[in-house]
Amino acid sequence: MTRAILRRVGAGVLVLWAAATAAYLALLAAPGDTVDAIIGDGADSPLIRSQIIQEWHLDRPAVVQYVDFLARAVQGDLGRSYLLQRPVAEVIGGQLGPTLQLAATAAGFGIVLALVLAVVARRPWVRRLSSTTELVLVSTPPFLIGIVLLSLFSFRLGWFPVSGAQGAAALVLPAITMGLPIAGTLAQVLRDGLDRALDEPFAVTARARGLRESAVLVRHALKHALLPTVTMLGWSFGVLIGGTVIIEQVFGRPGLGQVTVQAVNASDLPVVLAVVILAAAVFVVVNTLTDLAYLVIDPRLRRS
């Protein structure tokens, strides 16, 4: 058990290091000058440029700057934003709440809808309709779904706010936009797992004991069908975190999406690196929770 935990921790650290290194190299190779990014629209002169280079230690080799960045990151110091001149931890922390709220709400909506589509829609004609709907949801880009929902429920009917994050009503359309494709994917995986589980000997035995089909489905088959669904759910949550960058732009919501777009456009290296590290950390945590969920769902894995 100790070795397994150490392997998991080591793999997580390796993922964080690889993500930070890849982002650092990509931004280093991007066009543009760091000094220009820091100056922005402010006053520009040779003296100011010299002071900026000395203050931010930009005269040191790129390798030294990279090692210094890793050393500070390990200590929890993510640097200062070039654009906002504030600590990166403060910039990210102020926008993390709305993004996590949106991702969690979208995930919850997607899970509930997937269960309904996979468990309730068992009749042939309902199943065909559900499968077609899932295919459409999975194939449609989320930003297009968001634009359609905005046009119908905000601009035409006026039921929900067009933009912002004030109140629960402003969360409905973005969460539905992100949750619908996730629901389509999870429903397909869950239905396939249910179909296989209902053909297993334990399901036949349960029917022979007089259990109704709905009881066999919920009490026996559903638990066996959850493992691949949980795997897909872990992947989907990572997609949700990344998808907020686009969806927050579509709905004009505050969050990491707005911060990331501004940082990329302004070549704000510290903020971009912090967002990448945060996304990698979420990926590691979600995958760890997924592995723990396996042990809860299938007791046989605990013995192995």
In terms of pLDDT, which residue wins out, 46 or 14?
A: 14
Residue 292 lies in a domain: no
Instruction: Specify the number of domains making up the chain.
Output: 2
The arithmetic mean of pLDDT across residues 211-215, rounded, is 73
Residue 42 lies in a domain: yes
Last residue of some domain: 35, 54, 88?
Answer: 88
108-122, 133-147, 161-175, 227-241, range with the lowest pLDDT: 227-241
* CATH number of 256's domain: 1.10.3720.10
CB 99 within 8 A of CB 256: yes
Residues 214 and 126 in one domain: yes
Residues 84 and 101 in one domain: no
Cβ contacts of residue 270 below 8 Å, gap of 6+? 78, 79, 80, 81, 82, 88
The arithmetic mean of pLDDT across residues 251-273, rounded, is 81
pLDDT band for position 166 (50/70/90)?
Answer: confident
Report d(CA 44, CA 2) in Å as an integer: 56
Residues 155 and 225 in one domain: yes
Residue 251 has a pLDDT of 85
Residue 37 has a pLDDT of 64
Q: Which domain holds residue 81?
A: 10-88
Residue 4 lies in a domain: no
Residue 288 lies in a domain: no
What does the chain come to in residues? 304
Residues 77 and 102 in one domain: no
- The DSSP bridge partners found for residue 87 are 80
Residues 129 and 257 in one domain: yes
